[in-house]
A = this chain, B = another copy of it.
Amino acid sequence: MFKISDEFEVVAKIVAGVTHQLNNVFSIVDEISGSIQDTINLGGNLTAENLKKKLDKISHHSQRGKVLVKSLNRFVHLRDTTFREIDIIELLEDFVLLHSHFINQKGFRFATCFEEEKKLVFCSPFYLFYACHQIVWNFLNIKNENSEIKISVLGSADSLKIVFSTILPKESKSDFNELIVSLGQIVSSYNIGVNLKDEEPYATVEVCFIHNK
């Protein structure tokens, strides 16, 4: 039921998810543009106000597309450096955006709980994203009535941690624990730790930084 994907699979999934979102953006833009054309062609009444509203929508969706594309660009560059100081908040904002296709598709929603202020940690940026992805991706395989995945950033300076939480049925606990142990073995050499906290009915996974600067 639970599974760790390799690095390549993670990148392929994220990119594929974003292509669906981008395709959607282009379809909407094209549709709005087409609907204005139709009104003109049919000799319909197109007030300046109405036209402006539709153009605002086109601009809004173009901006949305740009933000997505920027996050995707940052994501594919995460592996350029093995270790560096990274802002958790920026990474999590990109993370949420780049996963929204899958979250919607599976009927889940993110509840994020962190301030906009920078929170710096020292680790491998790619493997931090990778660890977060494995946690959330596996949360999506839990049949869940609640359907909420909570992401919080807690602590400060050398005790910073990212906390992911969702409801986990009793029968999945031991399998999920195995997953987190395996994940911990992979990411520990990148200065990333993962721990499962047993707080029934929640699966609460803490991502921490073993030797923060």
Contact = CB atoms under 8 A, between A and B. Distances in A.
Contact of A8 (B8, B30, B56, B62): B8
Contacts of A79: 8, 12
Interface string A7-22: 1100110011001101
Contacts of A33: 55, 58-59, 62
A7 B7 CA distance: 11
Contacts of A11: 8, 11-12, 15, 76
Interface string A32-51: 01101100100000001001
A144 interface: no
A39 to B, nearest CB: 10
A30 B52 contact: no
Interface stretch (A65-73, A88-96, A152-160, A174-182): A65-73
A65 to B, nearest CB: 5
Given A37-B52, A63-B30, A69 B19 contact: yes
Interface residues of A, number: 38
A73 B30 CA distance: 20
B62 A29 contact: yes
Contact of A76 (B16, B29, B69, B70): B16
A65 B26 contact: yes
Most buried by B among A7, A65, A79: A65
A23 interface: yes
Contact of A73 (B16, B26, B55): B16
Interface in A68-86: 69-70, 72-73, 76-77, 79-80
18 contacts: A8-B8, A11-B15, A15-B15, A19-B70, A22-B69, A23-B70, A26-B62, A26-B63, A27-B62, A27-B66, A33-B62, A34-B55, A34-B59, A37-B56, A40-B51, A40-B52, A58-B58, A65-B65
